[in-house]
Amino acid sequence: MDESPNRTEPDAFTLLDQGVQRQLYGMGWRELRPIQAEAIRAYCQSDRDLLIMAETAGGKTEAAFLPVLSAIASEPEGSIRAVYVGPLKALINDQFGRLEELCSHIDVKVHRWHGDVSASQKAALVKKPSGVLLITPESLESLLINRTASLSSLLGGLRVIVIDEVHAFLEGERGLHLASLLSRIRRYIVPGQARTRTIGLSATVGDMGIAQQYLCPGEPERVTVITGGDGSKDIQFRIHGYVKEAANGDSARGQNAKENADLRVMQRIACDLAEHCRTHSNLIFANAKGDIEIYADMANEQCRLGALPETFLVHHGSLAREVREDAESTMKSGRKMTTVCSSTLEMGIDIGSVRMVCQIGAPWSVSSFKQRLGRSGRKDGEPRRLRGYVICEQDATEKDPLAQLPIDLLQTIAICELMLTGWVEPPSLSKLDLSTITHQVISTIAELGAVGAESLHALLCCDGPFRAFDPILFLRVLRELGNADIVEQCENGDLILGLVGEHLRSKRDFYAAFASRVEYTLIAGDRKIGSIPIDTVPKLGEHLVFAARRWQVAEVDSAKLIVHVVPAKKRQRPKFTGGVGEIHSRVREQMMSTLASVTVPTFLDATAADALRRARLISKEHDLARRGLVDVGDSRCFWLTWTGTKRQRTLVALLTSMGIEATDRRIAIECRTNSGILAQRLHAVRERLPGMLTLAESVVPKQFRKYDYLFSDALLNESLATDRLELLEPEMLLV
């Protein structure tokens, strides 16, 4: 056939399959974006793996799938040809629509597989595997253990694996889990055909090497990195500070007065939110689910007071799917609504165009902050807009100088400034994750029926991602799993599941490597509105704000784990326990230099600027903007560390092991001793540093992952020493 006679040099577009070209033409594209053109050339003209990095809405999905679909268009049937792994169901549903559109003119079928996909659709795919499969890691796990017999026909001719939002998989249990799953599914690919390639899609990651290693373990140099150059995006932002009114001296009602002051400052924030957000589509991120609910309620109240329609929606992981999907589709419809959300909307789910992103409270990492900022200004020519709302906690009545520092504000400023320099935290995958390896041991045995210890080790720790487990350590793990009746050894040496292991494997929450707590379902009338963890279930008659509405608990059914609620008038913040991630030491260092500097960033509003200036005065008075010791009273001192959470934890462990009572105060460690003694003892310990395992012994709590409870402290300490603590160096103890 004659190929485009009127083009002299083949450009990226002509490398695509005719049907894909037709579809692009039909969609009226003017041109391919640079990353798309580069990705197409790289995919079609080499056999390398790709890492495509661009901000949200940078056209990453198309960059990956235009060449992938073109490559499989000629032979879509006979096996699944491309697997796409995405972290969220909603994201998969979204991508499903986009891919189906791209496939309009080619014969490639797009399938999705997650908890909400019907059994008949799944059965159809198993019967006649073809095309592209969109799946979550958890469903991939379920595929591996529940459809073992079909795996060869499903995956035998797999050509490419696409991992979306790779940065989300570079840390935590899910990342390890996925890495292990991918190495496991590769075993079903029939050898002798072209190498199955990997494409990663990601927002900017702090350390590309780690992402490359993740995509192509062992041969990271095979991964070509393609970066979207959208440096010209304008960002506009402003940080608003809020100061609590001083609690008036009535000590008898101190607690109550403090609560009132908290409420009033939140109300002021909500008032500003309503003012700033009312006229457009916006996203408001908050760090805790309780905050999400309470701020949405307060902002809607502001709308009502102004006789305006309520425009604030909520979106977080504890809401029922219907409520979340409703928020997503309302946003997508282009109505001028604002959603208060958690990190669930950080990822690339399409929610239409967002004009501005707000952040309530201090962000905890540059990478998540950047990701959030990227949700606004997705259209060409639109700037990214962001407003931060920070309560500057400065309790002048306290003697404690640390209590007078607005640490949240400092953290916000530091993260903003680091973001402007372009720095992002490097990701870190944990190495000795006992819980996730347990999960994979159980599921691999479930997949294979029975397996020898040696080949299990080869499978998980040589081919798979658990490379830090040497045979000796792996044997210790197996032995403890044996003690807990998770695994059992047959007489021929093969491992099979023990009774407890069988029980764990058959539980509904098994497929996820991360822990999910037992939850109560929240029901209003006959509609499920969400769920609430067992440890924060409200009592009968209590009020709570949920799904942006106010409720009162009418019935608690502890047998069926159901809470019935009825609409109510009173507002009460729901209790959710939640934590923030690890803070990198670079952030804390930046906070220190912000405090030491004299310039006031232009993005602060008057209150925040005042708060910063006051903080600097305090810092000067007590000499806080440095590393070192500060006495507070006779038997109490601060060790100003200005360092990340991991080193803080290490140092606290060290102090505890030395018998000194120590508390993490974010930028410092509070010690129950005076600075002279502390300095001496630190000096002494520098000569003879304790081993990491010794330090780990004094870390509590030790269990924080799903299956950690199965292990002895001795093994947990090994894991803590490697993953949760920083290697202790004498220089860290210079004061």
Partner 1 sequence: MPNPIREKERAAILSSLGAGVVPAIGLQYIQVGRKAEVNALLSDLQRVEAGGASVRFVVGRFGSGKSFFLNLIQTVALERKFVVARADITTNRRLSGTGGVARSLYSELAKNFTTRSKPEGGALGSIVERWVADVAHEIISAGGTHADVQKRIVGLLRPLQDLVSGYDFAAVLNAYYRGFSEHKQELQIAAVRWLRGEYSTKTEARSDLGVRSIIDDDSFYDYLKLMAAFVKMIGYKGLLVCLDELVVLSHRLNNKAARDRNYEAILRILNDCLQGSVDGLAVVFAATDDCLTDKRRGLFSYEALATRLASNRFAGGDHVDLSGPVVQLANLTPEDCFVLLRNIRCVFCRGQNEDALLPESAIVAYLESCQRRMGAAYFQTPRETIKDFVGLLNVIEQNPTANWQQLIANIKTNAATDVESVIKDDDNPEKAPRTTERGRGTQTKPPGAVGNNDLVSFQL
Closest to 323 measured CA to CA, from 29, 547, 11, 81:
547
Angle between helices 60-72 and 18-26 (to 10 degrees): 140
Query: Does 709 participate in binding partner 1 (rule CB under 8 A)?
Result: no
Q: Quick one: which of 271, 450, 600, 658 contacts partner 1 (CB under 8 A)? A: 600
Q: Quick one: which of 122, 174, 276, 316 contacts partner 1 (CB under 8 A)? A: 276
Gap between the Cα atoms of 144 and 197, Å rounded: 20
Burial of 490 from C-beta contacts in 10 A (0-12 / 13-18 / 19+): exposed
Which region, judged by CB under 8 A, interacts with partner 1, from 274-282, 547-555, 574-582, 678-686? 274-282
Gap between the Cα atoms of 530 and 672, Å rounded: 44
Which region, judged by CB under 8 A, interacts with partner 1, from 159-167, 417-425, 581-589, 700-708? 417-425
DSSP string, 635-654: S-EEEE----HHHHHHHHHH
List 498's β-bridge partners, or say none.
none
Gap between the Cα atoms of 476 and 298, Å rounded: 54
Q: Quick one: which of 579, 602, 633, 701 contacts partner 1 (CB under 8 A)? A: 602
Q: Quick one: which of 191, 218, 249, 381 contacts partner 1 (CB under 8 A)? A: 381
Query: Does 7 participate in binding partner 1 (rule CB under 8 A)?
Result: yes
Backbone angles phi, psi at 511, to 5 degrees: -65, -25
Backbone angles phi, psi at 440, to 5 degrees: -75, -30
Q: Quick one: which of 494, 589, 605, 670 contacts partner 1 (CB under 8 A)? A: 605
Q: Quick one: which of 375, 385, 457, 647 contacts partner 1 (CB under 8 A)? A: 385
Which of 86, 388 has the CB closer to partner 1?
388
Which of 212, 367 has the CB closer to partner 1?
367
Gap between the Cα atoms of 110 and 132, Å rounded: 5
Query: Does 387 participate in binding partner 1 (rule CB under 8 A)?
Result: yes
Gap between the Cα atoms of 74 and 10, Å rounded: 20
Q: Quick one: which of 1, 119, 149, 700 contacts partner 1 (CB under 8 A)? A: 1
The three state secondary structure string of 124-168 is HHHHCCECEEEECHHHHHHHHHHCHHHHHHHHCCCCEEEECCHHH
Q: Which residues, including other chains, have CB under 8 Å from residue 171's CB and lie 6 or more apart? A: 427, 428, 429, 430
Distances in Å between the Cα of 550 and the Cα atoms of 267, 567, 721 are 16, 6, 45
Closest to 471 measured CA to CA, from 248, 618, 479, 300:
479
Query: Does 312 participate in binding partner 1 (rule CB under 8 A)?
Result: no
Which of 6, 251 has the CB closer to partner 1?
6
Q: Are 433 and 440 in contact (CB under 8 A)?
A: no
Query: Does 275 participate in binding partner 1 (rule CB under 8 A)?
Result: yes
Structure-token pair, residue 213 = 């290693």
Q: Quick one: which of 9, 47, 250, 380 contacts partner 1 (CB under 8 A)? A: 380
Which of 22, 222 has the CB closer to partner 1?
22
Q: Which helix (H) or strand (E) holds 202?
A: strand 197-202
Structure-token pair, residue 406 = 């607005």
Q: Quick one: which of 45, 104, 236, 248 contacts partner 1 (CB under 8 A)? A: 236
Which of 73, 618 has the CB closer to partner 1?
73
Gap between the Cα atoms of 308 and 654, Å rounded: 57
Q: Quick one: which of 10, 31, 245, 713 contacts partner 1 (CB under 8 A)? A: 31
Closest to 164 measured CA to CA, from 117, 120, 132, 188:
132
Least distance CB 234 / partner 1 (angstroms): 6
Closest to 406 measured CA to CA, from 241, 570, 544:
241
Least distance CB 205 / partner 1 (angstroms): 16
Q: Quick one: which of 258, 304, 321, 379 contacts partner 1 (CB under 8 A)? A: 379
Q: Quick one: which of 44, 126, 235, 515 contacts partner 1 (CB under 8 A)? A: 235
Binding map of partner 1 across residues 91-110, x = CB under 8 A, - = no contact: ----------------x---
End-to-end Cα separation, the chain, in angstroms = 76
Which of 309, 422 has the CB closer to partner 1?
422
Least distance CB 388 / partner 1 (angstroms): 11
Q: Quick one: which of 10, 29, 258, 304 contacts partner 1 (CB under 8 A)? A: 29
Gap between the Cα atoms of 269 and 576, Å rounded: 21
Query: Does 382 participate in binding partner 1 (rule CB under 8 A)?
Result: yes
Query: Does 589 participate in binding partner 1 (rule CB under 8 A)?
Result: no
Count of residues that interact with partner 1, criterion CB under 8 A? 57
Q: Quick one: which of 8, 30, 249, 701 contacts partner 1 (CB under 8 A)? A: 30
Least distance CB 708 / partner 1 (angstroms): 40
Query: Does 601 participate in binding partner 1 (rule CB under 8 A)?
Result: yes
Which of 326, 605 has the CB closer to partner 1?
605
Which of 13, 469 has the CB closer to partner 1?
13
Which region, judged by CB under 8 A, interacts with partner 1, from 44-52, 394-402, 524-532, 597-605? 597-605
Binding map of partner 1 across residues 329-358, x = CB under 8 A, - = no contact: --------------------------x---
Q: Among all chains, which residue has been given the structure tokens 């440095």?
A: 626
Least distance CB 390 / partner 1 (angstroms): 15
Which region, judged by CB under 8 A, interacts with partner 1, from 292-300, 551-559, 596-604, 721-729? 596-604
Least distance CB 33 / partner 1 (angstroms): 11
Structure-token pair, residue 86 = 């995405």
Query: Torsion angle, CA of 186/187/192/195, rounded to 10 degrees?
Result: 20
Q: Quick one: which of 218, 231, 249, 579 contacts partner 1 (CB under 8 A)? A: 231
DSSP code for 317: T
Q: Quick one: which of 174, 278, 550, 616 contacts partner 1 (CB under 8 A)? A: 278
Q: Are 436 and 177 in contact (CB under 8 A)?
A: yes
Least distance CB 97 / partner 1 (angstroms): 19
Query: Does 505 participate in binding partner 1 (rule CB under 8 A)?
Result: no
Query: Does 573 participate in binding partner 1 (rule CB under 8 A)?
Result: no
Least distance CB 376 / partner 1 (angstroms): 11
Query: Does 120 participate in binding partner 1 (rule CB under 8 A)?
Result: no
Least distance CB 287 / partner 1 (angstroms): 22
Which region, judged by CB under 8 A, interacts with partner 1, from 25-33, 486-494, 582-590, 674-682? 25-33
The beta strands (E) that lie in 632-699 are given as: 637-640, 662-664, 668-671
Burial of 31 from C-beta contacts in 10 A (0-12 / 13-18 / 19+): exposed
Phi-psi map region of 508: left, alpha, beta (phi>0 left; psi -120 to 50 alpha): alpha
Least distance CB 385 / partner 1 (angstroms): 6
Q: Which residues, including other chains, have CB under 8 Å from residue 731's CB and lie 6 or more apart? A: none
Angle between helices 366-373 and 407-421 (to 10 degrees): 70
Q: Quick one: which of 5, 191, 218, 579 contacts partner 1 (CB under 8 A)? A: 5
Q: Which residues, including other chains, have CB under 8 Å from residue 87's CB and lie 6 or more apart? A: 136, 137, 164, 165, 168, 169, 174, 347
Least distance CB 547 / partner 1 (angstroms): 27
Window 614-673: residues binding partner 1 (CB under 8 A): none
Residues that bind partner 1 (CB under 8 A): 1-2, 4-7, 13, 18, 21-22, 24-26, 28-32, 107, 231-238, 275-276, 278-280, 355, 379-383, 385-387, 416-417, 419-420, 422, 597-606, 609
